[in-house]
A and B are shown apart, each in its own frame.
Chain A
Amino acid sequence: MGKFNSVFDIIGPIMIGPSSSHTAGAVKIGNAARHLYGRSPSRASIHLYGSFAKTYKGHGTDVALVAGILGFGTDDNRIPEAFSYANQQGLAFDFIEENTAVEHPNTVRIKLGEGEDELELVGVSVGGGKIEIIELNGFQLHLSGSYPAILIMHNDRFGAIASVTEILAKHEINIGRMEVNRKDIGKEALMTIELDQNIEPEIEQELRSAKHIIRLAKVVN
């Protein structure tokens, strides 16, 4: 099967202009960051690379990223005024233009936080409004944000993955795609699981208390 599997990948999305990659894609990366953080942050530090760093003002990439972090959709007409909504909602943000060379021209690093609790991710806008999250808290991954997903930080011990998949199997939840990454053998690892449906709060609770699980975040769709 090809890269695109729906007519609505071609006719759509409905979006605020001007660019599917620099505007709609930026909103989606902001959305993913907000979902993974799990609540509204009080600060956001946004590092722009490549074409994002060069052309972000003209494309509204800056307002689009902030809109995404606020949870607005790609077609939300509040996007152009996202900065004032951020002020109202107590979100402080800053943009840093980076000169470092990156593999993909439309790359952004977002650090969200409130108090001590921080999340850092790297997202790329790959074209036509499609995105990928390629790094989360130092772990490499491939997350499209187009499907519901759960991300589980766990201790790198045998049985950790099985305990998660057993719970999903018991509740008859199908896994579309799964990957596991770790920084060092025996330390912390990250499981990324894309699902066909959003999970119920009870299942989420069950997963959180499973063996070797440290932390859970999710993308709702």
Chain B
Amino acid sequence: MFRTVAELVAQAERDNITISEVMIRQEIEVHDQPRAVIIERMEKNLTVMEEAVEQGLAGVQSHSGLTGGDAVLLQQYMQNHQPLSGQVVLDAVSKAVATNEVNAAMGIVCATPTAGSAGCVPGALFAVKERLNPTREQMVNFLFTAGAFGFVVANNAFISGAAGGCQAEVGSAAAMAAAAVVEMAQGSAEQSAHAFAITLKNMLGLVCDPVAGLVEVPCVKRNAMGTSNAIVAADMALAGVKSKIPCDEVIGAMYRIGQQMPSALRETAEGGLAATPTGQTLAAMLYNQSK
């Protein structure tokens, strides 16, 4: 069983297989289940992600009214303009937003690794899909690769905002997406690790400060920016750019930063954006409404 990214990459290189294949084989061995069962279960997750993106792009609103409709705005803009940040990046952003808007509206999503960070992996996947035209199998593999990296983070650090801030949650999700994009674009296992490291390095220190404690503001837009970060980092790694700090050490740094983060900045809605005048006004308004 791999415990670090270094071990994960080494296994892939030793057996001359992809990272997704390392993850699939480990799942077969540890849980003593046939390959077909494991693949089918992951494909079900893929289908849920696909449906959430579709639903979000059609337009949803959360019960609080704080979020919804931005995925629609982004798609409309893309139809009428040449996006400055590029077609793939903005498409990924709109699909990440779509997923998180559905989540905020109590729709069905697949937690990747959590519900609050559910947008990054599908956002990147379904945007890159338009460019790379992967098979269904390659799309399922995308999720195994993302999962393999998330697995290392969850066991060596944390993946929830309450435990380690947004860097642990959306930071991990974005970095997982970056690693998976590299594999789908035929990059090497080592390049996946660099993409992961580059992404997470640029999410370090990000706090979890949800307005009124809801998974809406700023969570939806944090997923959007995490996803764009992932795609740019994947391109950098595919170009041959390397992270000077090895992937496992970046995960270690994220862990230590999370431990040093005060509880006011870890999902309690007591600090950061939640504590701004507007954040407090919105919270008071929603609290009175629900009484």
Contacts and interface: CB of A to CB of B under 8 A. Distances in A.
Interface residues of B, number: 58
A19 B108 contact: no
Interface in A1-47: 1-21, 23-24
Nearest to B147: A7
Contacts of B102: 17
Contacts of A13: 110-111
Given A7-B147, A14-B44, A23 B115 contact: yes
A10 B290 contact: no
B111 A59 contact: no
Contacts of A18: 62, 103-106, 115-116, 214-216
B233 interface: no
A65 to B, nearest CB: 14
11 contacts: A6-B31, A7-B27, A7-B148, A10-B113, A10-B176, A17-B107, A17-B115, A18-B106, A24-B111, A127-B160, A127-B163
Interface size class of A (residues with CB under 8 A): 35 or more
B213 interface: yes
B215 A19 contact: yes
B189 to A, nearest CB: 16
Given A7-B151, A54-B213, A55-B213, A2 B156 contact: yes
B139 interface: no
B160 A59 contact: no
A158 B104 CA distance: 53
B212 A128 contact: no
Contacts, number: 151
A79 interface: yes
B239 interface: no
Contacts of A105: 162, 268
B135 interface: no
Given A20-B116, A75-B108, A79-B106, A51 B213 contact: yes
A18 B118 CA distance: 10
A10 B160 contact: no
B143 interface: yes
A57 B213 CA distance: 10
A58 B1 contact: no
A128 to B, nearest CB: 5
Interface in B136-166: 143-144, 146-148, 150-151, 154-156, 158-160, 162-163
A46 B108 CA distance: 25
